[in-house]
Structure 1
Amino acid sequence: MNGSEKSGLWQWWQTFEQRPRQAAWFSIITLSLICVMAFLWGLGSVGLVDETEPLFAEASRQMTVTGDWVTPYFNGVTRFDKPPLVYWLMALGYLAFGVNEWTVRLPSALAAIALVLGLFLTLYRFGYATPRAGQVDQADSRRSLRQRWIAAWLGAAMLALNVQMFAWGRTGVSDMLLNACIGVSLLCFFWGYVRHEGQVRRGFWPSRWYLGCYGAMALAVLTKGPVGIVIPGLVILVFLFYTGNLFTVWQEAKVWSGLLIFAVITIPWYVLVIQANGESYINDFFGYHNLDRFTRVVNQHSAPWYFYFLVVLVGFLPWSVSLPLAIARLNLWQRRFWCAQPRQAQLGLLAVIWVIVIFGFFTVAVTKLPSYTLPLLPAAAILVAQLWSYELSLNKLPSMAHQPRHTAGILITGVFSAIFAIATGVFWWIFPSLLGPDTAAPNFSQTLDQSLIPEIGGSIWIALGIAIAFLLLHRKTWRWVIVAQVIGFFCFLSFTMIPTLILVDQERQAPLRHLAILAGHEKQPTEELFMIGFRKPSVSFYAQTPIHYFSHAPHAATYVKRTRDNPPDDATSILILANPVIIDELYLKPQDYQTLDQEGAYQLVRVPRAVIAERNDIASP
């Protein structure tokens, strides 16, 4: 190395990489900072977000109330959408920490953190970029170590710092838990795959890494059903078929004993829930929520064939811009070359197949949701981290004659990154003006505009775009584009996304939450609670009482008139949570009801049953 290379960052790096303990502590501190900010900071500071999150939260709470840990219930009705693992974890959290939003989201946050740590360790161990034919980077052990450290840091940061991981890692639903289980199962598989190269394992039981793979797949099945084994199973089968190792790994992984372990973990609950609910569970869960979602549109969740291209592009920003180059540079079509590589050099190959299988599987599925691409994000982070770690680990930029073939791709990727960053910044600046009217939060657009959050977010993205453009002016600084992206998105997460969530909660969720809590306190033992004109599951969770949902006021009036001679529990009055307009549609006059409170777009009133029946008899004889 010449004198200039021994100065500055490279001198610092040489000192750093020769002290593994300091490197380990640096990794612990940076990973902790990233994970805390992405998944734990302010985790319980906002209320549950309708529509799905409260369904999980209340079904879990019902388990602690009823003692029935087999069949999930919401609002007195069985909920067969998902298997029990996420409900169990939330319910155990309630027993340990109390019923609150933080406990609801803790399983998702911990699952996201576990996946980030697993990816970091895997990239540190196997993260060097796979060499091209005729170039064996592993021969230079120092550069290999440097590249693995950088790949681990970048991969963990990319996985934690993107829109999709941030959103689902802070939401109390099953998607992040499924993502972590699938990701951990595939990472454990790769560790076992590498460790058993050239070895013949005797005995009946699989080794600990393959055991971890089977166990994680079993937990995935207990999280979301058959997809928990179908997705990682397909990835592994395609990978082994491509490398020609299917028969060998089948033997060394002890598949039959692994399936036995898998069955012991998964089957008991399915047997119990079918015994308790019979054919209704089989038809609802296996039929409607699995087979039907794959073969037809469910709950109007349809989208065009290119839907997931947009989801990955936006959800994995800013790293998604580098993903096409990260995939293309591995030359997947060179099967003979890949088969000749040692197993430890095939992590990038596994990641490419991982992305393609999941992307293709859910593109073929007719029902489409943005969360379905979550399980491919760890693989995407591996690919992009390997690409940029190769660039950042160079002692000096090669001469033009020895420049890597993807140098032009790095430049193009950087240009598109700058364009996307500036475009995103402009979008955030004008975001408030794009919002349409919202009856649940009529003043949200104005409040958001006055908060300066759009200006802060827009400034961060525009500054990032300018920084990338400046780095692209000199070839020696191209490789630092990825570092600028990490810093920029971390700032965007800290100063824009989290404050935006808090503001949305204050304007949109808080009024309804406060009225629901009040309804739970005010409700008399014999009273019913009506929600008319909208259906917000969060009310059931915060009121902690059953809710009668009615889409229109006449439906509620019809129910009251039908039960006037035999009201449930001899109830003489009803609590109604609705928009004031809905109260008028019941033909009620102000003297007919008691207003308990009114916040935002909602009103909570107490009305005698007889008055509702009488007023609607007169209005519609």
Structure 2
Amino acid sequence: MRRSSLLSLIALGSLLFFLLGNAALAITDPVESNYVLTAKEMVQSGNWISPQIFSTYWYDKPIFIYWLLSLSYSLFGFTDFASRLPGAVFGMGSVVFMAWYMLRRGSRWEYAVLAAIVTATSFEVWIVSHSIITDQMLFFFTAGTLFFAWFGLTEGKGRFMTAAYAMAALAVLTKGPVGIVLPGTFLLVFAGLRRNLTYIKRIFQPAGILLFCVLCLPWYVTMYNLHGMDFINGFLGLHNIARATASEHPEANVWYYYVALIPVSLLPWTGAAIYAIWKRRCQTEESVYLLVWAAGTFLFYTLVATKYPTYTYIANIPLLLFASFGLADLYEEGNRRLWTWVTAPAICWWLLFFAATFFLRKTPIAGSSWLLLYLFVPLAILLVVAAQRLKAFPAIPLLTGIATAVVYLIVLYQGLAPFYAYRSAAPFIGQEAQLPGRIYFFEDYRVSFTYYTGLTATYTAPAGYDENKLLHRSSVWAGKHPFPEESSAALQQRLRQGEAVTILVPSGKYEDYTRSEFYPLTRPAGKIGACYVFYNL
């Protein structure tokens, strides 16, 4: 099969896989809603240079994701599908990139297809490709940086190194300095380990450095010219340096955070990755290169104070390649028992979803009938066990990939859709008439409320309430929230004066509200979505 035809088929299949169900997933708080509201205001204001939210300039992330969302909204309107389209497109691009790398390095086309299946159905790639965050774009651009750099270093072809710098520039426009700092560090460490001065010379390619500056510096320079030190302090100070030095979530700042997380993120292919890493450890330059990439990412983010589940996501690029190599090695071995490295994690992964439904039955996100999952998981287990026993080795990864994809789709429609709705203000759509007067959120703001309804609510909390103190984190994070706020005293005055007021209390804050100074001055008016509604007396 021609390479272009194969990659086109992989692109089409993976894009459809990532698009399925997107329209059913509401915008969630607190992360996704910030991105979509910023992009919505960008489109409405016509200002595509300076991100803003609640009419305030917002320096949380660089511009690239906002450009993608704004373009999607311009084409498809302000819909959930349009909001999740960029993640799906870059998820597809990442799958194609993995297959391309396998073909470019000389692997058989069958192994390229397996690499695509492994990537698309690994848990974190699947979930992030359905999300509205920067990480899938960073994954794609980092993969491009390090794939192109590998061929540029080892083959001495300048065009590949130039392409690597171009991808790094787009990574910097997506996530910030980390888009060049990490890949650059990995390349230099690899060249140092190989004691290869030629590699070091190829890394510092003048044409690539110039292209990098041309692609990413104009936006940063423009932002500095427009906003001066506000941009530097907000973007570099709060959202980069502070994250590295002051944990936003202190309870997660433990050394083993990613030790537990990374293996789960690779499922159901964790076993294949471990098998290949053990078998191929440091045997080739490529293995060293990939291990530097994976271990370097893990070490860097373990040292960073703020821990997020997706921070080490780019480590999955080399680890998923190892998983693909592991499948190829298992074919060569022809040992039935060794295939347990694939079948055992997959079966445990499916059973975990199966078991989780029983714990969700009495929760607000219980979902609808799980009968299809209950019927499908035993069938999938039976098929992969039979394939292993009958030594139908080519069928094992195909069955594993297909079965995992089906499980994901069932979980998306039956579980994720109600879960996302619960974490969103989407249920307020069409309910605006029920919310008289000035609207407030108590202790926990829902940015998606403004995105969906077009109404701006105000944050409030009891006197003396200090979120940072309660979370045992630095006061530097007080500058993170972009939404409007009002003091307890000002709101109490409005309530006592009989001004029309609506207070929305998220479910998790209900007990706090009953103990607050606002509760005696208001009366309950029902519940919308995950929020209790209170009016003034």
User: Structures share a fold, TM > 0.5?
Assistant: yes
Q: What are the equivalent positions in structure 2 for 1:208-607 lying under 5 Å apart?
A: 208-245=159-196, 247-252=197-202, 255-300=205-250, 302-332=252-282, 334=283, 338=284, 346-392=285-331, 411-412=337-338, 414-435=339-360, 441=364, 444-445=365-366, 447-448=367-368, 450-452=369-371, 455-456=374-375, 459-460=376-377, 462-473=378-389, 476-477=391-392, 480-505=395-420, 508-509=422-423, 512-519=425-432, 528-552=438-462, 558-561=489-492, 573-578=500-505, 585-588=518-521, 598-603=527-532
Q: Deviations along 1:454-495, whole A, 9 cap, x unmatched?
A: 525xx52x5444444444446x44565333322221222233
**Which has the higher mean CA deviation after the structures are superposed, 216-225 or 419-428?**
419-428
Q: Distance in 2 between matches of 1:372 and 1:601?
A: 29
Letter in 2 for 1:492: V
Structure 2 vs 1, CA of residues 587 and 454 (structure 1 numbering), >3 Å: closer, same or farther?
A: farther
SS at match of 2:49: coil
Could you tell me whether the CA contact under 8 Å between 1:388 and 1:479 is conserved in 2? no
- Taking the aligned partners of 1:421 and 1:35, their CA distance within structure 2 comes to 23
State the identity as a percent.
22
State how 1:30-109 maps to structure 2 within 5 Å: 31-37=11-17, 39-109=18-88
1:168-247 → structure 2 map (5 Å cutoff)? 168-196=128-156, 207-245=158-196, 247=197
1:411-439 deviation digits (Å, cap 9, x = unpaired): 35x3354443443444333324434976x
Match of 2:119 in 1: 159
SS across alignment from 2:441: strand
Query: Does the residue aligned with 1:122 lie in a helix, a strand or coil?
Result: helix
| Distance of aligned partners of 1:309 and 1:470 in 2 relative to their CA distance in 1, 3 Å threshold | farther
Contact 1:598 1:604 in 2 (8 A): yes
5+ residue gaps, structure 2, are 466-485
Within 2, Cα distance between the matches of 1:479 and 1:356? 31
SS state at 1:51 partner = coil
Cα distance in 1 for partners of 2:487, 2:449 equals: 17
Instruction: Output the CA distance in 1 between the equivalents of 2:121 and 2:114.
Output: 10
Contact 2:100 2:112 in 1 (8 A): yes
Residue by residue, what CA displacement relative to the aligned partner does 1:436-460 show, whole Å, maximum 9, x if unpaired?
976xx3xx33x45x4436525xx52
Alpha-carbon spacing, 1:196–1:31, altered in 2? closer, same or farther (3 Å): same
Measured after TM superposition, the shift of residue 545 of structure 1 is 3.2
Deviations 1:134-183 (A, max 9, x none): xxxxxxxxxxxxxx212210111111111111111111111111111111
* C-alpha contact (below 8 Å) 1:415/1:469 kept by paired residues: no
1:375 positional shift = 0.8
Letter in 1 for 2:438: E
Letter of the structure 1 residue corresponding to residue 67 of structure 2: W
TM-score with structure 2 setting the length: 0.84
1:122 is matched with 101
Alpha-carbon distance change, 453 to 279 in structure 1, aligned in 2, over 3 angstroms: farther
Amino acid in structure 2 at the alignment position of 1:196: G
Range moving further from structure 2, 298-307 or 94-103: 298-307
* Greater alpha carbon shift after TM alignment, 429-438 vs 364-373: 429-438
Q: What SS is found at the alignment partner of 2:29?
A: coil
**Contact 2:350/2:407 (8 A) holds in 1:** no
Give the Cα separation in 1 of the matches to 2:413 and 2:442. 32
1:62 and 1:74 in contact (8 A); partners too? yes
Distance 1:313 1:465, change over 3 A: farther
Contact 1:83 1:224 in 2 (8 A): yes
Moved more, 163-172 or 496-505: 496-505
Work out the CA distance in 1 between the residues paired with 2:118 and 2:223: 39
Q: Which runs of 5+ in 1 are unaligned?
A: 1-19, 129-147, 198-206, 339-345, 395-403, 616-621
Cα contact 2:281–2:287 (8 A) shared by 1? no
Identify the range of structure 1 (463-472 vs 86-95) with the bigger mean alpha-carbon deviation.
463-472
Q: In 1, are the aligned partners of 2:247 and 2:253 still within 8 Å (CA)? A: no
Tell me the distance in 2 between the aligned counterparts of 1:219 and 1:572: 50
Residue 298 of structure 1: how far off its partner (Å): 2.1
Post-superposition shift, 1:251?
4.2
TM superposition shift of 1:57 = 0.5
Between the aligned partners of 1:123 and 1:579, the Cα distance in structure 2 is: 48
* Alignment length (residue pairs): 510
CA distance in 2, matches of 1:573, 1:58: 26
The structure-2 alpha-carbon separation of the partners of 1:97 and 1:470, relative to structure 1 and needing over 3 Å to count, comes to closer
Match of 2:123, as an amino acid? V
